[in-house]
Amino acid sequence: MVDDGRVEGVTAIEVRTGELVTILGKAVIIATGGCGRIFQFTTNGWIKTGDGMALAYRAGVPLKDMEMVQYHPTLLPNTGILITEAARGEGGHLLNKDGERFLKRYVPNKMELGPRDILSRAEMSEINAGRGFEGPYGSYVNLDLTHLGKITIEDKLPFVKELAEKYLGIDPEHEPIPVRPGQHYMMGGVHTDMHGFTGMPGLYAAGEVACVSMNGANRLGSNSLTECLVFGAAAGRAAARYAVKMESPSFGNPVQGEVMMEEKRIFDQILKHEQGERISSVRTEMQNGMEKHVGIYRDENSLKEGCRIIGDLKTRLSNAIVEDKDHVYNTELVAALELDFMLDVAETIPYSAIQRRESRGAHYRTDYTKRDDANFLTHSMAHKTPGPPRIDYSPVTITRWKPEERVY
- The secondary structure of 58-98 as a DSSP string is HHTPPEESTT-EEEEEEE-TTT-PBPPTHHHHTT-EEE-TT
Least CB distance from residue 234 to another protein, whole Å?
A: 14
Residue 274 in the binding site for another protein (CB under 8 A): no
150-179 residues in contact with another protein (CB under 8 A) are: 163, 166-169
Given the residues 37, 88, 121, 298, the one annotated as active site: 88
Of 90, 123, 62, the residue nearest 392 (C-alpha): 62
Judge whether 64 and 198 are in contact, CB under 8 Å: no
323-352 residues in contact with another protein (CB under 8 A) are: 323-324, 326-332
Judge whether 286 and 350 are in contact, CB under 8 Å: no
CB atoms within 10 A of CB 297: 15
Residue 309 in the binding site for another protein (CB under 8 A): no
Rounded Cα gap, residues 216 and 157, in angstroms? 30
Residue 31 in the binding site for another protein (CB under 8 A): no
- The verdict on whether 363 is a catalytic residue reads no
Count residues near another protein (CB under 8 A).
29
Least CB distance from residue 140 to another protein, whole Å?
A: 13
Using CB under 8 A as the criterion, what x/- string covers residues 71-100 for binding another protein?
A: -------xx-x-------------------
Residue 243 in the binding site for another protein (CB under 8 A): no
| CA-based end-to-end distance of the chain | 48
Rounded Cα gap, residues 266 and 270, in angstroms? 5
Helix (H, G, I), strand (E, B) or coil at 186: strand
Q: Which is nearer to another protein, 81 or 246 (CB)?
A: 81
Residue 272 in the binding site for another protein (CB under 8 A): no
Judge whether 38 and 50 are in contact, CB under 8 Å: yes
Residue 136 in the binding site for another protein (CB under 8 A): yes
Residue 318 in the binding site for another protein (CB under 8 A): no
Q: Which is nearer to another protein, 47 or 86 (CB)?
A: 47
Given the residues 72, 121, 191, 363, the one annotated as active site: 72
- The verdict on whether 72 is a catalytic residue reads yes
Judge whether 61 and 42 are in contact, CB under 8 Å: no
Residue 380 host element (H or E): strand 378-383
Q: Which is nearer to another protein, 15 or 194 (CB)?
A: 15
355-394 residues in contact with another protein (CB under 8 A) are: none
Among 322, 342, 345, 382, binds another protein (CB under 8 A): 322
- The secondary structure of 246-291 as a DSSP string is SPPP-S-TTHHHHHHHHHIIIIIIITT--SS-BHHHHHHHHHHHHH
Q: Which is nearer to another protein, 246 or 321 (CB)?
A: 321
By CB under 8 A, name the binding residues for another protein. 16, 45-47, 78-79, 81, 135-136, 163, 166-169, 278-280, 284, 321-324, 326-332
As annotated, the active-site residues are: 72, 88
